[in-house]
Structure 1
């Protein structure tokens, strides 16, 4: 199938790989938003480019306290490159002004303040006309080890914080998606995130953001061995077992999925700072990658019978922790775009 046969979902790049894992004064300093926009706008495969970019609402990319005039300037910059803005990451963690969703009253208040600021930006960008779709991304902003001190009590606290966040989102005409990543307490297994979303019980407002790299580790039971779907010592050549495990996981999470990240993973974990064991992204052509990207994307985007029934409006590539020289190579973004076009060719719609 020709990549141009489907126009939907739209294809986005993510800006946050320019910040995540980057440190000033090192060999891998932060990459500015202008550069990430340039990388995105320049990518082409058979004459097709990215449709947009998803943003991290954190300085130096986008200040969470940006004024509407600031956002108009941002919209002009991105729109001038024939791109739109999609989903936004709310900086809900303590180092960026937020706090734990299961923490003290002040920590939870800080979490909700960041959600409110992010939803205000999301609404403003929508009103400006640069953001036709997308969600505001959140997580629990707490560690798995801290959560495990009182699993039931902490899960209820996170759910209550998310319900209050839902009220804020609805006031701004927005939706929230909790990213499935094994480093966040209460969201560190596929069963726990379903449990959490059921406790929140706001399916039209609070859902799931599926990242192919992170959710692969759900099947392996990292940080939640009791919920593993693949056996210990699993042979990655056994495709049938992986298909079965993946189908079980996606059947549980697909009904909650609002936002979808195309990604690749080599089945290893990496821990840094607040990310206590999380999935290591790798490039789409990495020989150690364990995912047939287009095939497994279908488990998220299609109903069990195989028909394309999703309402996902855009796909986003998520890949962090790549060396700067890799990110500055135009071939990197063309390969990423090609993988996303394969996904859309297989599972997209007119």
Structure 2
């Protein structure tokens, strides 16, 4: 099982708006990742956000091959890719009108094209393409939950057909901010309605799914309440992971302190914490095991760290990445084959 770092912490919640920190370039994120080392072990690869300023998803074949050369030159492979599906990028809402859903599907096609170029280059040999509903917040979805979930499912089904035609699989990000995917129950209902497990599955993130457990944006689906004990936690954690694990084809190691967090336009999402954060709610290694049972049977060949919306001062500290890498090695050694 390979160990990857994500590139999007250099982008998400950052930018030119007032109060935002500047984005960290792709090359700097690669260099920070390459500098980490624990007992001779380094990161094997990266997961990659297909949007500016790291990448123009409409870049030419030659430009994309040049990026692949740079990544490979740093000693990395590429795993999962994040499609540019959101309003304001290439795509738009998966539960919108035809113009919006056509944009969503166009963005998935672009991601599949990039994946194909990376695959042909040789820098990428495994991984999924990550999507979500591209409908931020629940207000519009809540006007007709059943009907809007069906709209999302219909769009996802068409997107899954596109991915399958390109030899790719889509992984739906489980996060409380995405309409129709904002609780473990809504996510499961959506996956089952799409009903294309060979082409579309679930991307589990330890930080985000902790908030699933607590029912942050769907109290009716909460499995735990504040003040829970450890025995109760693991019983309910197993209940949730048993339902979503069969769909899980992509996995993010992360930590969460039970709070939500936002920066810029990216608001009210799972608050990722440092791997050794004293306020972290999760035993990262133990909790990862619930998701990684029989992982390779589901085609998972790598695990990825997600430290989305860390301050730049944290991202630029080599000690941050050594601690994260050490945690990732512990997860791999406890639950995954090392071949």
Q: TM-score, normalised by structure 1?
A: 0.93
Cα distance in structure 2, aligned partners of 1:27 and 1:208: 30
Aligned length: 336
Does structure 1 residue 166 correspond to structure 2 residue 160?
yes
Gaps of at least 5 residues in structure 1 are 1-8
Does structure 1 residue 328 correspond to structure 2 residue 303?
no
Within 5 A, what are the aligned runs for 1:44-83?
A: 44-83=37-76
Match of 2:107 in 1: 114
SS of corresponding position for 1:295: helix
Match of 2:268 in 1: 277
SS of corresponding position for 1:55: strand
Match of 2:293 in 1: 302
Task: Evaluate the alpha carbon distance shift between residue 200 and residue 27 of structure 1 in structure 2; reply closer, same or farther with a 3 A threshold.
Answer: closer
Cα root mean square deviation, aligned: 1.5
Task: Evaluate the alpha carbon distance shift between residue 81 and residue 271 of structure 1 in structure 2; reply closer, same or farther with a 3 A threshold.
Answer: closer
The superposition leaves residues 240-281 of structure 1 with CA deviations (integer Å, 9 ceiling, x where unpaired) of 111011101100000000000000000111245664522100
Cα distance in structure 2, aligned partners of 1:12 and 1:67: 26
Gaps of at least 5 residues in structure 2 are none
Match of 1:141 in 2: 134
The superposition leaves residues 305-339 of structure 1 with CA deviations (integer Å, 9 ceiling, x where unpaired) of xx986642000000111111111111011011001
| 2:213–2:222 contact (8 Å) kept in structure 1 | yes
Match of 1:3 in 2: none
Does structure 1 residue 347 correspond to structure 2 residue 339?
no
SS of corresponding position for 1:280: strand
Cα distance in structure 1, aligned partners of 2:191 and 2:312: 36
Match of 2:210 in 1: 216
The superposition leaves residues 1-47 of structure 1 with CA deviations (integer Å, 9 ceiling, x where unpaired) of xxxxxxxx100000000011112375721000000000111110001
Task: Evaluate the alpha carbon distance shift between residue 276 and residue 75 of structure 1 in structure 2; reply closer, same or farther with a 3 A threshold.
Answer: closer
Match of 1:198 in 2: 192
Match of 2:5 in 1: 13
SS of corresponding position for 1:319: coil
The alpha carbon displacement at 1:234 in A equals 2.3
SS of corresponding position for 2:328: helix
Cα distance in structure 1, aligned partners of 2:309 and 2:20: 12
